[in-house]
Amino acid sequence: INNVTAVISLFVVLALMQADFAARHALEREMRKSLARGDFRLYYQPQIDNSGNVFGVEALLRWQHPQQGMISPQTFIGLAEETGLILPLGEWVIKTACAQLVAWADNPAVAHLTMSVNISASQFRQPDFVQLVTEIVRRSAVRPAKLKLELTEGVLVRDIDGVANRMHALRRLGISWSIDDFGTGFSSLNVLKRLPFDQIKIDQTFVRDVLRDERDQGIVRAVIDLGRSLGMTLIAEGVETEEQREWLGACGCEAYQGYLFSKPVPADDLVAWISSRSGRLELRPVHAAG
């Protein structure tokens, strides 16, 4: 009986693996087709400083599936990384973001914006990553100082010297670096010490309950102090209420991104939104906490 059970279990497991494999394979095929067909989009989420000015945006990838509608990156970025599709997809993202910056350069409402672009670990680890970005920047004729690249801590745990070299190479062009989802991964303070980051993004998991949770408050205060002592700018992600923003601002946070201001939206909607609020100072002034 035991043997029979074992054999049946094995078949069930194999069947499930097969089904999972088939589903993932189908999704991968769909992604390839969509990339060729132009079904991917960049949405843009505004970044706001303490004066209420929109100074930048983060480009966030969306998959406009012909049948299934809009698919969030959470469902496909992981698979794109495993299959290597992140490389052409990530290249498309950088090119599209640069083209958007160039297109905005003629529009006074948005000409000043910086653009943050998410870079996945495998993309960053490609031997020709620096060359690829350099080429794209050169061909698009974008001002490199407008470009901010976001890395998550996962990229940073191995080969810190190699990582630093790449970062420095692109920094010499004028591109800046931001550490995304800070505090959620495995990196150590050594990473901040040795890598030339310009900005820390405070992860939304610390922001969400920051008005209630004393531990989150302690972490956020410490991250802000740490970043400021190292000469980095700080931006908080996932800011949904004015109370959160005020609390963060009182602790020394300098910039915010979140639904309080806007979801990620298509380029046209972003331009309309910025134009409609220009000249209005919507934030209450922040008083630094002692």
Q: Mask: binding to Mg ion, 134-173, rule CB under 5 A, as x and -?
A: ----------------x-----------------------
By the rule CB under 6 A, 93 interacts with ligand C2E: yes
What does the block give as tokens for 226?
A: 């740490």
Helix 86-104 crosses helix 2-37 at what angle (to 10 degrees)? 30
Nearest approach, Cβ of residue 97 and Mg ion (Å): 12
Q: Residues touching ligand C2E: how many (CB under 6 A)?
A: 22
Determine which residue in the list 30, 238, 254, 283 makes contact with ligand C2E, applying CB under 6 A: 238
By the rule CB under 6 A, 77 interacts with ligand C2E: yes
By the rule CB under 5 A, 30 interacts with Mg ion: no
Nearest approach, Cβ of residue 198 and ligand C2E (Å): 16
Q: Residues touching Mg ion: how many (CB under 5 A)?
A: 5
By the rule CB under 6 A, 120 interacts with ligand C2E: yes
Residues 6+ apart with CB under 8 A from 288: 250, 252
- Integer Rg of the chain from CA: 21
Exposed, middle or buried, 97 (CB in 10 Å: 0-12/13-18/19+)?
A: buried
Stretch that binds ligand C2E, among 186-194, 244-252, 254-262, 266-274 (CB under 6 A): 254-262
Determine which residue in the list 26, 111, 259, 289 makes contact with ligand C2E, applying CB under 6 A: 259
By the rule CB under 5 A, 180 interacts with Mg ion: yes
Measured in residues, the chain has a length of 290
Residue ranges of E strands in the chain: 40-49, 54-65, 69-71, 114-118, 147-152, 176-182, 199-202, 233-236, 255-256
Query: If we measure between CA atoms, which residue out of 261, 253, 259 comes closest to residue 277?
Result: 261
Residues 6+ apart with CB under 8 A from 141: 102
Q: Which is nearer to ligand C2E, 249 or 258 (CB)?
A: 258
Binding site for ligand C2E (CB under 6 A): 45, 60-61, 72-74, 77, 90, 93, 118, 120, 180-181, 204, 237-240, 257-259, 264
Binding site for Mg ion (CB under 5 A): 118, 150, 180-181, 237
